[in-house]
Amino acid sequence: MTFKRLLAALLFLPLLSGCEPEPVEPPPPTERSVLRVGTLYGPQIYVSTGQGLSGFDYELAEKFARYLDKPLKMMPYASIGELYQALERDDIDIIAAGLTDTPARRQQFRLGPPLYEVDQVLVYKEGNKPQDDLNQLGNGLTVLADSAFVDTLTQLKQQYPNLNWQQVVDKDGEELLEMVANGDIPYTVADSSSLQINRRFLPELRVAQVLEDNQSVVWLLSPFHSDKLMSQLLAFWDTERRNGTLEELNEKYFGHVQRFDYVDTRAFIRAVDSKLPKYRPWFEEHAGDLDWRKLAATAYQESHWNPHARSPTGVRGMMMLTLPTAKQMGISNRLDPEQSIRGGAKYLSNILSRLPDSIPEDQRMWFALASYNIGMGHVEDARKLAQSMGLNPSSWGDVKQVLPLLQKRKHYSKTRYGYARGSEAAHYVDNIRRYYDTLVWLDNQAQTVASAPPPQETESVSLDAASAAPPQ
């Protein structure tokens, strides 16, 4: 070998034996004219319904885009892993998908400020025996690949050496919860917010134990060239936190799902099959500008869709109208289901038209329903009381907190209309919102099934805990 070849070989050896090179920082991206937000589908994240787009992350992203004076481009992806890749390729500016703050994500991304908190919970099906010892789960635990749950389970495995799990890449969180409810898998891990929402449709779901509590949900930004965007996000977050937007979104998406009644939820889903088809045409016909499902949910709260329902207080029928209200709405027979539905719809529309203009459009229905329950005068008393306490009288979340005070002499003695069962009105509205959400979900499911192509075999990919690489 010549001296030159030997020297070249010696110089080349360190390249073969040395460590992997440091990641190369990409060149600065071009300033975009739109805000590109990567997301996942989910009722609390981003979803399209007959009433348009909704979701906590979607609404906040929409507000952030307006703050930046840019159009919003929501870009849903099939998995967390695909979101990560899209951010790395600079296909998106932000990941807004209900993801939590974890040590692994802190190493990979820049994390935005906390939006709300969730617990990680081990979920099983009602009727099965919950397992307290994680060593005894066997191979029955299935979780999403690249999720924060994998981080948690990896840490718990040090304490529970026999803990094993499968990671799936061809499902989403909603599908895994449905698989548990159907008995297809024994266990999964979910965020508490997702579980609370899905129990409206899948009441068999139960919490075996909390694996990790009080985790902050955050947005993720690229670790490179995101200083300006992060600065704008922090300023936006501070503004929205101070003006109550974050609290309002929390109330809108999670406030009404905190209370869960298994028996009532099961009974409602059965009634949707057995009773609703008979009355649905009248709800749709007489709803007018209202969403017929909100009208139907109100009727279920009032009478459980019983046209002959009666109360000792004198209200009657499907929509439980008083005699003076029925006469005012042109109803001659409160026990006739169609007349009752028509009268209830007309009365509810009348209340909506009389509400103050300061109440936002997306919250007017909740104020109207509270008024339907205890009267507009008492709701106005609650609004004035909220304002006197430094709260927003046009925010349903704030007024909902104040309504129970109408039962306390210290407060109702100073109001115009006096005592009212305000806590009942708050629960009344929460119940209707849950029934409505369930009707929307069942409606969407029916439409999906009707439009779905014939089933084809698909290959599912899974990784067990022993062979899976840690989430990147």
Catalytic residues: 302
Contact 385, 402 (CB under 8 A): yes
Distance between CA 269 and CA 258 in Å, rounded?
A: 19
Q: What is the 3-state secondary structure (H, E, C) of 256-287?
A: HHCCCCHHHHHHHHHHHHHCHHHHHHHHHHHC
Could you give the C-alpha distances from 143 to 19, 180, 201, 251, in angstroms and in order?
33, 11, 20, 28
Beta strands 94-100 and 47-49, pairing class: unpaired
Report the DSSP beta bridge partners of residue 124.
206
- 469 Rama class: left (phi>0) / alpha (psi -120 to 50) / beta: beta
Could you give the C-alpha distances from 236 to 60, 164, 291, 405, in angstroms and in order?
10, 42, 33, 33
Q: Which one-letter DSSP state was computed for residue 231?
A: H
Q: What is the 3-state secondary structure (H, E, C) of 301-349?
A: HHHCCCCCCECCCCCECCCCECHHHHHHCCCCCCCCHHHHHHHHHHHHH
Q: What is the SS3 assignment for 445? A: helix
Listed in sequence order, the residues at least 6 apart from 366 whose beta carbon sits closer than 8 Å to its beta carbon are: 396, 400, 429, 433
Distance between CA 314 and CA 112 in Å, rounded?
A: 54
Residue 109 has which token pair? 């991304």
The long-range contacts involving 175-180, CB below 8 angstroms and separated by at least 24 positions, are 176/142, 176/143, 176/144, 177/123, 177/202, 177/205, 178/202, 179/142, 180/123, 180/124, 180/125, 180/205
Residue type, 78: A
Task: Report phi then psi at 243, rounded to 5.
Answer: -90, 5
